[in-house]
Amino acid sequence: MNFWTDPLKVAADWLQGVFTSWGMNEVFAHVLVAFLGVLLLITILMVIDIFLVWIERKVVARFQDRIGPNRLGPFGLIQPFADIIKLIIKEDTTPAGADKVVYNLAPILSMMSVLIIWSVVPIAPVILSVNLNVGVLFLIAAGAIGTLSIIMAGWSSNNKFALIGAFRQVAMMVAFEVPMLAMLLIPTIFAGSMNMNDIIQAQGGLWYFVLSPLGALIFLVAIIAELGRAPFDLSEGESELVAGFNIEYSGMKFGMFYAGELLHAMTFGGIWGILFFGGYRFFGLEQVSPFLAIAIFLFKALLGYWVIMWVKYTMMRIRIDQMLVFNWVFLTPLSFALLMVTALMNALLQGAPVWLYAAGMFLSNVVVAWIALEVARSVSRKERQKVEGVAQVAEAHH
């Protein structure tokens, strides 16, 4: 074993040897090395988060025919650091009547809910963090902390607008977690495991996007809603709520919410890549070097992040009632129907050749999507006829 084939293992063994040579207990040395590893991961994620600010501002500038940051540093690369300095030196205010403990704890929990997700994210064949056998369920549990932080922020701020924004956001997150969880079970069915690394390894020959394109699309819609990004950014209806649940936060407390949102978007882009696009695998290149595997994973994560940005800066915000009706009346039944069809087809096609299995799964997705669109079209037609009928009656009375 050398540094280029398993860098973390070599570095950890070397550090543990150094600590034990200083007379430290072996167990304490192991715990300290693990702590330093977690600290390294958080530091890397925070550095990536800083540059995500620059990336997002550049991308939205291209979408809107602008230049974006271009003053501080080459291509404006130092602009995020100027923003951080601005947030640090801003006055730290706490609203009168706020619950100070809950108010100050909320942004910390918001950031923590994103960081702990990375504890089960495999970024290379030899860099698995915690190889948890129920990693898929851990994602949902970690996301619940983010939901809790939002309701804590809105309630503790002693502001009606913040409270309404928190209620909106939590209602949306709870609603769209149902189809998201259903779609998380589809890769679990294909791989026969809830372990994230097992799901990646099972996609050696065929990405699950090919087997379940509709599942990948529903999962994408659900994670955009979970992030609270347009067209699902109802917590930030500027004409109604200004900034929503975090309106009373200033300085770095507001910055933690904002940084958590950006990192969450990239994290979900990476999870989308793991579940449906093979994670760090790409035609065997991941076996060349763990550094190449990390680059492949980050590329897929950033590609997913770009798709999320593309949707955000293209589509208009929809009303809260329309959004919830869309979820409970259309997306949730569709996700459960797709899950049942996938489980049935998987049982029927067990032992079939790969091409037949893939064709059967793909065609079943096409059929489910076609039926769902026909049902939606029929309901929309009836609703439109009813509205037009009411309008004609009203016109006749006039």
Do 176 and 302 fall into the same domain? yes
Q: How far apart are CA 42 and CA 271, in angstroms?
A: 18
The answer as to whether 34 is a domain residue is yes
Query: In a structure prediction context, what are the per-residue pLDDT tens digits for the chain, which is 398 residues long?
Result: 577 777 888 888 888 888 888 888 888 888 898 888 888 888 988 889 888 989 989 988 988 888 888 888 888 899 888 888 888 888 888 888 888 899 999 999 988 888 899 988 999 888 877 888 888 989 888 888 888 898 999 899 988 888 888 888 888 888 999 999 999 999 999 999 999 999 999 998 789 999 999 999 999 999 998 887 878 877 666 566 677 788 888 888 888 888 888 898 999 999 999 999 999 999 888 888 888 999 999 999 999 999 999 998 888 888 888 888 999 999 999 999 999 999 999 999 988 899 999 999 999 999 999 999 999 999 888 888 888 876 676 677 66
Do 255 and 167 fall into the same domain? yes
The answer as to whether 120 is a domain residue is yes
The answer as to whether 385 is a domain residue is no
Do 74 and 130 fall into the same domain? no
Q: Is 375 within 8 Å of 329 (Cβ atoms)?
A: no
Q: Is 129 within 8 Å of 270 (Cβ atoms)?
A: no
| pLDDT value for 5 | 77
| pLDDT value for 235 | 67
Structural domain boundaries, residue 69:
1-87
Phi-psi region of 212 (alpha: psi -120 to 50; beta: other; left: phi over 0): beta
Tally of domains in the chain: 2
User: Which of residues 56, 87, 118 is at a domain's end?
Assistant: 87
Do 76 and 94 fall into the same domain? no
The answer as to whether 394 is a domain residue is no
Q: How far apart are CA 350 and CA 34, in angstroms?
A: 42
75's CB contacts (< 8 A; 6+ apart) are 58, 69
Do 128 and 181 fall into the same domain? yes
The answer as to whether 388 is a domain residue is no
Q: How far apart are CA 47 and CA 150, in angstroms?
A: 24
Q: Please state at what angle helix 135-156 crosses helix 251-276, rounded to 10 degrees.
A: 160
- The pTM assigned to this predicted structure is 0.91
Q: How far apart are CA 337 and CA 324, in angstroms?
A: 19
Do 163 and 75 fall into the same domain? no
Do 365 and 223 fall into the same domain? yes
The answer as to whether 194 is a domain residue is yes
| pLDDT value for 165 | 83
Q: How far apart are CA 62 and CA 284, in angstroms?
A: 34
Do 232 and 210 fall into the same domain? yes
Do 66 and 208 fall into the same domain? no
Do 44 and 107 fall into the same domain? no
